[in-house]
Amino acid sequence: MGASPARARGTVVVVGGGFAGVACAKQLARHGVQVRLLDRHDYNQFQPLLYQVATAQVATTDVARPLRAMFPKRHPVQVSMALVTAVDPVAKTVTSADGITFTGDFLVLAMGTEPNFFDTPGAEEHAFPLYSVDDAERLRSRLLTVFEDAHRNSSLIDRGAMNFVIVGAGATGVETAGALADAIDHLIPARVRDPKLGRAEIHLVDPAPVVLAPFSERAHAYAQRVLEQRGVKLELGVKVDEVGPDRVKLSDGREILTRTVVWAGGIKAAELAARSGLPQAHSGRLEIGADLAVPAFPGVYAVGDVANTLAPDGSPFPQLGSVALQAGRCAANNILADIDGQPRSTFHYRDKGIMAMVGRNAAIAEVGPRRRELHGPLAYASWLGVHAWLLSGYRERVNALGAWAWDYVAKTRSSAFINRPDATHIDWGE
């Protein structure tokens, strides 16, 4: 009795259920390769919309989808919840926290990233990162809690209840600042009808002299103007030296009283990369070749944000979902080439541009390799269309479009509720 087609084509262990890992698994499965996909969660999250979960624009179910639901039954992908804690790149084996081992003919590492607090005192303990569904839900509950506390006791406003500090003026920080400003202007007045809460202050802090540094100078000026018009205080050219339970200390000596610090100040490769025994580059990313394989470790590939994927000029590609998707497919195709005894292909990124939402009716889009710029409502509509299309399922796309349309015409949000007690208790010393 002959072996099944899946077994005959080899087995692949993929660690990480993000953009790169899922794209790689799908491509392999379509060609009859048996895939075991491992992730600490049983869902795939659409990270570009996490700030909208945090500000209650969309629901958690609009950005998270069960991993098993992403693969047709006819495709041989086995999904297992596993917190991978060890990697043996020579044996192409990984081990989970409960001691279970998984081995394949090939190993694909796509673990993604985690927040980089740059050893800032107090940041890990007191700041709210925004890199997972769990992070977004915790931040949403904290944002709503400080409004409720200030509504109940207005004296808390003078103690920083209505001050919000966002660390990092990249895309995540700018989008969060814009969304929070919209929430303060539209959602909160309708929710509690308390004019005192209009005294909220949003501080966006970054050591760089501009916001959205990867974008053009025109985009810098546009984003800065929109944010300032919406009341965001830009603290540029300074950095956060310390995050305390009730304040942040800036490098210029000032302090801002606050109970809500959003950390969008940088990312680094997942901790597992450092324990993999593989060579690392900047921010702990794994060194790979132009074919996305790890040199000197046959059968091992690294893709997505955990990999130091280089452009032809030697600079690393930005850590974008589009890069991860294309890299995942390229790694899968090179594994298929390995199986068939064919030469591998070099990764070529098809640059479709970059986008950032600044707030209602305000966005920036630099489209295509020549970076044709769009600002304002047209870029806003383009951002909505592109991100709806990138969502992983039809239901998620419909729900997100519906939520955006409702949010545009109404002042209520169905997901604006407090459900994370681990983020809601604040010791005001009352």
DSSP notation for 59-117: -HHHHEEEGGGGS-TTS-EEEEE--EEEEETTTTEEEETTS-EEE-SEEEE---EEE--
Closest by Cα among 318, 410, 408, 329 to 48: 318
Position 169 scores a pLDDT of: 97
Give the mean pLDDT of the chain. 91
Sorted by sequence, the CB contacts under 8 Å of residue 303 that are 6+ apart come out as 20, 21, 24, 108, 109, 110, 292, 309, 324, 327, 328, 330, 331
d(CA 123, CA 361) in angstroms, rounded, equals 32
Catalytic residue, candidates 124, 125, 148, 175: 175
Phi, then psi, of 425 in degrees rounded to 5 = -75, 125
Task: Give the pTM.
Answer: 0.91
Fold of 5-40+82-115+268-340: FAD/NAD(P)-binding domain (3.50.50)
Secondary structure class of 160 (helix, strand, coil): coil
210-246 confidence digits (pLDDT tens): 999 999 999 999 999 999 999 999 999 999 999 999 9
Domain parsing of the chain, residue ranges: 5-40+82-115+268-340, 123-265+353-414
d(CA 348, CA 366) in angstroms, rounded, equals 20
Secondary structure class of 287 (helix, strand, coil): strand
Secondary structure class of 179 (helix, strand, coil): helix
Long-range contacts, 386-391 (Cβ 8 Å, 24+)? 386/355, 387/48, 387/49, 390/46, 390/48, 390/321, 391/46, 391/62, 391/63
Q: pLDDT class for 3, splitting at 50, 70, 90?
A: very low
> What class does CATH assign to 123-265+353-414?
alpha beta
Q: Which two tokens stand for residue 225?
A: 């103007």
Shared fold status for 5-40+82-115+268-340 and 123-265+353-414: yes
H/E stretch holding 220 = helix 217-229
Flag whether pLDDT at 5 surpasses 60: no
297-333 confidence digits (pLDDT tens): 999 999 999 999 999 999 999 888 899 999 999 999 9
83-112 confidence digits (pLDDT tens): 999 999 999 999 999 999 999 999 999 999
Q: Is 175 a catalytic residue?
A: yes
Q: pLDDT class for 6, splitting at 50, 70, 90?
A: very low
Write the CA distances from 133 to 50, 140, 152, 165, integer angstroms: 7, 11, 29, 20
